Amino acid sequence: LDGPPRVVRRLARTEALMGHPETACRWLTRYASMGLALDLAADAQFAAALGDGQCAGARAALARNREPVGDTTAVFRLPRADLIAEDLAYDAARHRFFVSSVRQRGVLVFDATGKRLSFRGPERDSLWSVMALRIDPSRRRLWLTTACLREAERFSAADSGRTAVLLYDLRSGRRLGRWEPERDGTARVIGDMALGPDGTAYFTESLHGALYSISP
């Protein structure tokens, strides 16, 4: 299954429950090497199957992964717990934070104190789940990607598999462009993006591994 973390964690638990602590510890060490944290004492099955003295190395690594990796300061808290916030972009010129929401199908904008601001372009458009956000500071533009996902409110099965890229003017919020792949019955999700130094935008398609680009 190509080693996704949840599979590694389940293999570790299964080996522990089968009475194979050494193998379970190897899987837990691999899980910790992914940079993930896991409280074995709080997991009833692990706690029952592994003694406190077992997997000392894995336990130490998992504990280290829970420690902060930088000196950070909380700026503000998002207003709802169910946003499924996907990406964050900062407009340094006007000190605004742009947050994309998978659940609420839009872009939320805040000032440095957490006060909600209006940004009319995305508010007027009927977006699907919003994925990546990138700001082009020199051209004063906001790029975003959107895809019709089941996790979103007001999910429409008729739009399932559709995805698009949108571009907005950061000053006015006016939409400058919208691009959608050909509707040929193939489901696509344009997810992440990067901006080149000349303003070219590059986009990844998550389901089939394609790469798109749009010139400035």
Helix axes 56-64, 21-33, angle to 10 degrees: 20
pLDDT at residue 51, rounded to an integer: 84
Whole-number percent of the chain with pLDDT over 90: 73
Q: Is the pLDDT of residue 121 over 90?
A: no
Rounded Cα distance, 89 and 168, in Å: 14
Whether pLDDT at 86 is above 90: yes
3-state secondary structure of 25: helix
pLDDT-derived band of residue 1, with 50, 70 and 90 as boundaries? low
Task: Give me the chain's average pLDDT, please.
Answer: 92
pLDDT of residue 12: 94
Please give the average per-residue pLDDT across 76-97, as a whole number.
93
Residue range 20-39: average pLDDT?
Answer: 94
Which range, of 50-59, 81-90, 93-102, averages the lowest pLDDT?
50-59
> In the structure, what pLDDT confidence band is assigned to residue 216 with cuts at 50, 70 and 90?
confident
Q: pTM of this prediction? A: 0.73
The tens digit of pLDDT for each residue in 138-147 reads 999 999 999 9
Q: What is the pLDDT of residues 33-73, one digit of tens each?
A: 999 999 988 888 888 888 888 899 999 999 999 998 888 88
Residue 183 has pLDDT above 90, yes or no: no
Rg (CA), the chain: 22
DSSP sequence for 122-159: HHHS---EEEEEEEETTTTEEEEEEE--TTSTT--GGG
d(C-alpha 96, C-alpha 142), whole Å: 12
Given the structure tokens 């690594």, which residue do they identify? Answer: 61
